[in-house]
Amino acid sequence: MKALRVLIIEDELVTAHDIKETLEKAGHAITDIARNLSTALTSVRFSPPDIILIDIRLDHSSEDGIDIAQRILSQQTIPIIYLTGYSEPPTIARAQQTRPAAYLLKPFRHKELAIQVELAYHNYQSSLVNSVDPYLSDNLYLPVDQGRGYVKIRKNDVLYLIADRVYVEVYLIGELKKRVFSMNLGYISQFFTSPNFYTLSRSLVVNLDYVERIDKGQFYVQGQNSPIPFPEANHKIFLQQFAIVKTPSKREGRL
């Protein structure tokens, strides 16, 4: 088994260093110990790991481990292992939406942890052989008719995706009728990894390439006359995604 580069996302430093020591004794390298979303994203960017160990409860973070996993997976494909004390069905159901390589419960046994990490990485890599990676593919085949069939969606044809309780509405360029799929937005959005797809709110992902106009709390996309509302609190950061030309001041206008 090759030595793995492991990122640990855990805000209990005693536990984090215990995990670090255990994996280092097994021959693996720890890229970082992150305690919140921003640190985790920075670490993944500048010190890419082979696999990530994540605790779900993070008292020093506004996002929990599942939220952080979703953000990381929306940018790149990395196997995830949850190492947590949570065993409640709703938490496990949320975690399953991120397709973890393993879900381990605390307290952990030191020798067993190293073995599970290696097995999870090996199984993850094996699953990629001779299969099309939905994270990298230009097309997705989404389940319809209660999973009895699959329909093709070309990623770059998607105008935006919006959550509707346990469903996701997908709006495509050139189609007046929305497509509705029985799945969670957080789950499906992880496969739209290109920079043009932007998460504007917890219930809305938009393809920036098709945005035609932005007003306070709403925007318009190509081919649709009706505005799409979004939280006004996100207006400023949304504008930062575009090359905005601001109205010059009177002084600048005279120069």
- φ/ψ (deg, to 5) at 186: -60, -30
Q: How far apart are CA 49 and CA 42, in angstroms?
A: 12
What are 13-31's pLDDT values in tens digits? 999 999 999 999 999 999 9
* 33-48 average pLDDT score: 94
Write down the pTM of the prediction.
0.54
* 212-240 average pLDDT score: 95
Helix (H) or strand (E) holding 214: strand 211-215
Three-class SS state of 30: strand
* 150-177 average pLDDT score: 93
- φ/ψ (deg, to 5) at 137: -70, 150
Q: How many helices (H) and strands (E) does the chain have?
A: 8, 15
- pLDDT above 80 for 1: no
* 204-213 average pLDDT score: 96
Domains and CATH numbers, the chain: 5-128 (3.40.50.2300), 139-240 (2.40.50.1020)
Q: How far apart are CA 42 and CA 36, in angstroms?
A: 10
